[in-house]
């Protein structure tokens, strides 16, 4: 690990578990002070904070529901008050709700909440952080390979939320570019987390869909985030990077 992010402050939304927790650990290992947010898992979030603090940087966790723009604005304010600045925003919090359109069993309320979390939450965070980011700032969102492809029925709403994140990313790259701030999206393939366990019922078809024939690890997404957050990625903006074992190849 480098110390390329020393002196920077990062916020990782949804940092209590899965991909977000791996990103938080990795940014801390690269020297950043790290704040994480969560919706329900206070204990898990606190454990991630303790682990990060043990590596010698500052860390804190904040409860904030990404579906609520006021809570997200409060989160950004609280992080800036605690750490004095904010340099890197990683939008990782997300939910995955499956339901074919028109199927009476589909929970439309849950689909609408997914839209609020996966799209509304990302937009709210970027709007709230905009006044705080300075030259060299970074916004990195976790989209999905399903933002580009729709390989199975039932994922239309989830796919649409992740396509929206990629579209926001291109637009925001233009908006933030003159300030020297970059905005990018990483589109993971199947990654072994609570959301998508590698031993789950739907795992084999996903593995078979990748070129490498396996699930990815959260740390493999974190490595790409660390690259985009660092100085070597200064000329990359508006990009959508597939980190997916060839799922979208
Ligand atoms: P997990 O379900 O393992 O973790 C989700 C994280 O998001 C948790 O920290 C959770 O907090 C937080 N979260 C969920 N809802 C909210 C909310 N309303 N407000 C604040 N935080 C919330 O998911 P993954 O780690 O697998 O997914 C992370 C991101 O990666 C998501 O955006 C997902 O769509 C994307 N992704 C995942 C893939 C995969 O195969 N795993 C593939 C492609 C994309 P809490 O613990 O409090 O519930």
Q: What percent of the chain has pLDDT over 90?
A: 98
Q: What is the mean pLDDT of residues 114-130?
A: 98
Place of tokens 């709403």: 157
Q: Give 160-191 pLDDT, tens digit per residue.
A: 999 999 999 999 999 999 999 999 999 999 99
Q: What is the pLDDT of residue 70?
A: 98
What pTM, to 2 d.p., does this model score? Answer: 0.99
* Helix H or strand E segment including 21: helix 18-29
Q: What is the mean pLDDT of the chain?
A: 98
Q: Is the pLDDT of residue 199 over 70?
A: yes
Q: What is the pLDDT of residue 198?
A: 98
Q: What is the mean pLDDT of residues 226-233?
A: 98
Write the DSSP symbol of residue 193.
S
Q: Give 42-82 pLDDT, tens digit per residue.
A: 999 999 999 999 999 999 999 999 999 999 999 999 999 99
The answer to whether the beta carbons of residues 160 and 110 sit under 8 Å apart is no
Active site residue 235: no
Q: Which two tokens stand for residue 48?
A: 């991630």
The preferred substitution site among 23, 93, 124, 217 for testing ligand 1, maximizing ligand atoms within 8 Å of CB, is 93
Distance from residue 2's CA to the centre of ligand 1 (Å)? 26
Residues 6 or more apart whose Cβ sits within 8 Å of residue 198 = 190, 192, 207, 215
Q: Please tell me which residue in 38, 62, 155, 158 is annotated as part of the active site.
A: 158
The answer to whether the beta carbons of residues 11 and 23 sit under 8 Å apart is no
Distance from residue 118's CA to the centre of ligand 1 (Å)? 9
Q: What percent of the chain has pLDDT over 70?
A: 100
| 66 backbone dihedrals φ, ψ, rounded to 5° | -65, -15
Q: What is the pLDDT of residue 25?
A: 98
Q: Give 90-101 pLDDT, tens digit per residue.
A: 999 999 999 999
Q: Is the pLDDT of residue 1 over 90?
A: no
Q: Is the pLDDT of residue 2 over 80?
A: no
The preferred substitution site among 18, 186, 217 for testing ligand 1, maximizing ligand atoms within 8 Å of CB, is 18
């Amino acid at each position: 690990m480098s110390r390329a992010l020393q002196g920077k402050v990062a916020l990782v939304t949804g940092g209590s578990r899965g991909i977000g927790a791996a990103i938080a650990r990795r940014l801390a290992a690269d020297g950043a002070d790290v704040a994480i947010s969560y919706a329900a898992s206070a204990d898990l979030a606190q454990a991630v904070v303790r682990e990060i603090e043990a590596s010698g940087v500052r860390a804190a966790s904040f409860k904030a529901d990404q579906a609520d723009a006021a809570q997200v604005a409060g989160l950004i304010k609280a992080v800036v008050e605690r750490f004095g600045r904010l340099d890197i925003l990683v939008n990782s919090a997300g939910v995955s709700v499956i339901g074919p359109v028109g199927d009476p069993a589909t929970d439309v309320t849950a689909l609408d909440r997914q839209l609020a979390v996966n799209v509304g939450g990302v937009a709210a965070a970027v709007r709230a952080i905009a006044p705080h980011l300075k030259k060299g700032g970074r916004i990195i969102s976790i989209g999905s390979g399903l933002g580009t492809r729709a390989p199975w029925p039932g994922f239309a709403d989830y796919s649409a939320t992740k396509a929206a994140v990629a579209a926001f990313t291109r637009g925001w790259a233009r908006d933030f570019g003159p300030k020297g701030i970059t905005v990018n999206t990483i589109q993971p393939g199947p990654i072994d987390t609570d959301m998508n366990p590698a031993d789950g019922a739907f795992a084999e078809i996903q593995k078979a869909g990748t070129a490498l024939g396996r699930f990815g690890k959260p740390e493999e997404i974190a490595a790409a985030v660390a690259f985009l957050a660092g100085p070597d990625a200064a000329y990359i903006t508006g990009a959508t990077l597939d980190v997916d074992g060839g799922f979208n190849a």
